[in-house]
Amino acid sequence: MTAILSAEGLSKTFRTPFSRREVRALDGLDLQVASGEVFGLLGPNGAGKTTTVKILLGLTHPTAGVARLFGLPASDPESRRRVGYLPEGHRFPGYLTARQTLSIFGRMSGVAPAELKSRIPELLARVRISDWADMKVKKFSKGMTQRLGLAAALVHRPDLLLLDEPTDGVDPVGRREIRDLLREEAARGTAILLNSHLLSEIEMTCDRVAVLRKGRLVATGRIADLTAQGFTYRFAGTGVDEALLGAFRESGAGAERVNGHVKLTARDAEHLNALVDTARARGVLVTELTPVRSTLEDVFVDLVNAGEAAEAGGTDDALRPEGSPG
Amino acid sequence: MRTLFANVEEVFREAAARFTLVAYAALSSVFIGLFAIAVNLDIVDGALAGAKLFGKELQMGPRSVDLNKLVLGFESGFSGFLYVVATFLAVFATAHLVPRLQEKGTIDLYLSRPVGRVKLLLSRYAGGLLLAGLNVAYLIGTMGFLVWWKTGVVHPRFFLGGAIIFFTIATLMAFAFLVGVLTSSTAVSIMATFAVFFLAAILSGHRQIEAALTAEWAAALVRGLYWALPKTGQLAQVTVDFVSYGQLSRHTHEIDRLAVFGSTGAFGLVSLALSAFLFRRKDF
């Protein structure tokens, strides 16, 4: 797949004007997002997530490195022709109605007024605010404002969506609707970069994630790979007895009973298959064999803690710039 | 062009939603309305033979008044009044355009569109200018029409005087944009622009001020400021003179037209260019 968003060695240092104190917000970030991919950007506060998005949109100028959208430098306004953006805490002009907001921002994105006539009602219906189409934005609740923001990001049918906390202030039903909408967009080939503190949202929505800490990439990869716990499986079957568990342990596997099933840890895939063969040879009917995963939150907390521990020890060895935290 | 029209539309929608503009339009209309209803003139052979104010007869004296002179007097006085009022109201009505654009949570929405920063800023400047221009045109146009309706006298230069007011507004609005880009504060933009307006007006007497100063550096500073700032004092004089006498100034020895318009225009252009340059470089 072709990368439609890329960052190479992206760095940003903020300097306070009088004290000349420097804050390194981003430090050599490399990132790629392909079309149709839903990519999550994670990190604690001050990790550089928002700075990354702002550089990608040309809102902030990088100190070093290159950011590209659709092959064009992020500093070129034309690179944003096919980009939809929903900023965190966005504030649309309160004196505009939802319809007027979409009309003005649609035209600023190059959509013809004639096309907007059909596009605006369609979008308002899609984000479920049709009934408030002609109400001033200042009267909107936070959830409705968020839905309008999403509609404004989609008004010009973008091929890349950058969303900062898209479900912020939205009720659980609305969150599901937004997740479904994002999935629909991804299915039609739209790449999505999602920036959220809600790790469960990221876990449910994203294909890949990157974890940032103090401006550096500490892990990136598919969620399934990041959350996998090696070859640890939840194993269950009829006739599983202590003799079988003993046989498992003798072969070098880890085997312990947990809440009515066996937590089985093999060395590798071949070893796992051998364990299954052993069970089958003893007449066990295997009813469940599923990989045990950490939650994304566990992985995230481990990565952040590892970074802090490395810092305290004066080394960054605990941090891996690429791959799973395993 | 879509960006320009979208921005201009937004400026007008915002203006419509703001009390300042509503008050401006209402006050202007009340002023015009009062003139239309209250003043009744009795014109005989092109001269004012009698006049009524709110239905009450005014004493005209034994001789009739030359209507042309009377209308010119009114128009020149009104253009001087309008120069100050329209400029102030224009600054009030448009000084928020950049600070509000630069607000956190708002600027991202605009800059994430495929629009260059300079184009975005200039589109808003054009919107503000159009708004202020329409206000000036409304006041001068309607008043000119009423004068013609009441007296049958038309002086095209009364309408053209509005162009000088518009030029002053364009210059000061450019400076308000510059302060807005630098400070993101509407209040500071308004105060700084009015400070320039008054300081520049005071500096129209720079020769007298310089003569009164003993230190050469202070005199040089006054002279430098005079040349750097817009000539708001002289432009007011030029507006009145133009409407009254049909020439930019009857005091040509005192007011160098080229210097007045040239240095004021240069101030506006530099302010606008600088605001575009800084807005383009700014991190949000």
Q: A305: how many CB neighbours lie within 10 A of its CB?
A: 11
Pairing of strands A83-86, A3-15: unpaired
Q: Which of B104, B113, B284 sits opposite A108 (nearest CB)?
A: B113
Alpha helices in chain A (DSSP H): 49-56, 98-108, 113-126, 142-154, 172-187, 199-205, 223-227, 242-250, 269-281, 296-312
Span B213-224, pLDDT tens digits:
888 999 999 999
Task: Calculate ∠ Cα A261-A265-A267, nearest 5°.
Answer: 155
**Is the Cβ pair B107, A81 closer than 8 Å?**
no
Tell me how far apart the alpha carbons of residues A25 and B21 are, in angstroms, rounded to a whole number: 43
Using 50, 70 and 90 to split pLDDT, how confident is the model at B14?
A: confident
Chain A: residue whose CA lies nearest to B4: A108
| Dist CA A194 CA A49 (whole Å) | 10
DSSP letter for A188, please: T
Look at the pTM and tell me if it is higher than 0.95: no
Whole-number Å distance between alpha carbons of B89 and B73: 24
Rounded CA-CA distance A83/A160 in Å is 5
B3 touching A, CB under 8 A?
yes
Domains identified in chain B, total number: 1
Helix, strand and coil content of chain A, in percent to the nearest 5, comes to 40, 30, 30
Q: How far apart are CA A255 and CA B200, in angstroms?
A: 88
**Does the CB of B6 have a partner CB in chain A at under 8 Å?**
yes
Average pLDDT over residues B96-108: 93
pLDDT of res. A308: 75
Q: What is the average per-residue pLDDT within B225-249?
A: 86
CB-nearest to B105 from A57, A83, A87 is A87
| Residue B256 forms contact with A (CB below 8 Å) | no
Backbone angles phi, psi at B21, to 5 degrees: -70, -40
pLDDT at B191 over 50: yes
Instruction: Name the residue facing B13 among A14, A89, A95 (closest C-beta).
Output: A95
Nearest CA in chain B to A75: B116
| DSSP run (H or E) holding B92 | helix B67-94
Facing residue for B111 by CB, picked from A57, A95, A162: A57
Q: Look at A105 and B108 and tell me if their CB atoms are within 8 Å.
A: no
Which of A179-183, B244-248, B258-262 is least confident? B244-248
- The reported pLDDT for the residue numbered B34 is 74
Whether residue B51 contacts residue B40, with contact meaning beta carbons closer than 8 Å, is answered with: yes
Comparing C-alpha atoms, which of A38, A36, A46, A41 is closest to residue A7? A41
Closest CA to A208 of A293, A324, A291, A318: A324
A323: left (phi over 0), alpha (psi -120 to 50) or beta: left
Alpha helices, DSSP H, located in B106-116: 107-111
> Which residues of chain A, if any, have pLDDT below 70?
1, 313-326
Rg (CA), chain A: 24
Please report the pLDDT score of residue B32 as a whole number: 75
Q: Note whether B10 contacts A57, CB cutoff 8 Å.
A: no
Q: Is residue B84 predicted with pLDDT exceeding 80?
A: yes
**Per-residue model confidence as pLDDT tens digits over A280-313:** 999 999 999 998 877 888 888 888 887 777 777 6
Instruction: Mark yes or no for CB contact B2/A54 under 8 Å.
Output: no
Q: How far apart are CA A236 and CA A251, in angstroms?
A: 18
Q: State yes or no: pLDDT of B233 exceeds 50.
A: yes
Tokens of B153: 């006298």
* Closest CA in chain B for residue A51: B284
Q: Which is more confidently placed, A90 or B154?
A: A90
- Structural domain range at position B6: 2-281
Chain B residues with beta carbon closer than 8 angstroms to that of A78: 114
Q: Where are the beta strands (DSSP E) in chain B?
A: 39-44, 47-53, 56-58, 65-66
CB contact under 8 A, A108 and B14: no
Are B114 and A81 an interchain contact pair (Cβ–Cβ within 8 Å)? yes
- Percent of chain B at pLDDT > 70 equals 86
Is A109's CB within 8 Å of B14's CB? no
For residue B114, the 8-state DSSP code is S
* Number of Cβ within a 10 Å radius of residue B138: 16
In this predicted complex, what is the ipTM? 0.77
Average pLDDT over residues B96-104: 93
Distance between A107 CA and the closest CA of chain B, angstroms: 6
> Is there a contact between B10 and A58 if contact means CB atoms under 8 Å apart?
no
